[in-house]
Structure 1
Amino acid sequence: MKEFSDSQNMMEAGAFSFNNELEEKIIPQEVTRIEDMAFEGCPKLSHAYLLPSMDHIGSNVFDRCGALKAIFVEQGEEEKIKRELSPGMQGKLMAV
């Protein structure tokens, strides 16, 4: 499965699902959409960095990521991103 669709500027559904090695991910600037379950079940994922270009975050994107400590966004983008995250992930949102 391809992780990034150039023509649609989106991260495919399940792009990194159940990746046991992934510890950190910076979403590329050109990605404006993260589809459902993109990072579901990544037990070592501790940090994700979302850039201001993000317009849509699908459902269950970070489900079952037990090590996830923080989802970093640029200051001023918190509310926009918070609306897109599931309630369980909203508390992990941090502005930098």
Structure 2
Amino acid sequence: MITIHLKYEIDADKLADFEEYGRRWVRLVNRFGGTHHGYFLPSEGDSDIAYALFSFPGFAEYEQYRKDSLSDPECQETLQLARTTGCIKRYERRFLRPLDGEAGQ
């Protein structure tokens, strides 16, 4: 399994736009065979940082999702929402793997 961790720098004045963007991606990732673990929005502390976590069974499945999303109209509409509103200033993507807890592995 591969888990993708996204850290967003968002425009705090456009939080509602970012929330809509996140709601759409949760549904889309799940439709493409992933498991979305949610978006995590500012509460206390930094008002312009948000996170998202989602997983795919493996890196090959994640790459297929990335390829398929390029031609999916709903994915492209969602990306356009972020571009049009400017709710995302920048983001970082990390790939993580779970520790299974078994000794010697």
Instruction: Tell me the TM-score normalized by structure 1.
Output: 0.24
Instruction: Tell me the TM-score normalized by structure 2.
Output: 0.23
Which structure has more relative contact order (CA 8 Å, sep 6+)? It is: 2
Q: Which has the higher strand share?
A: 2
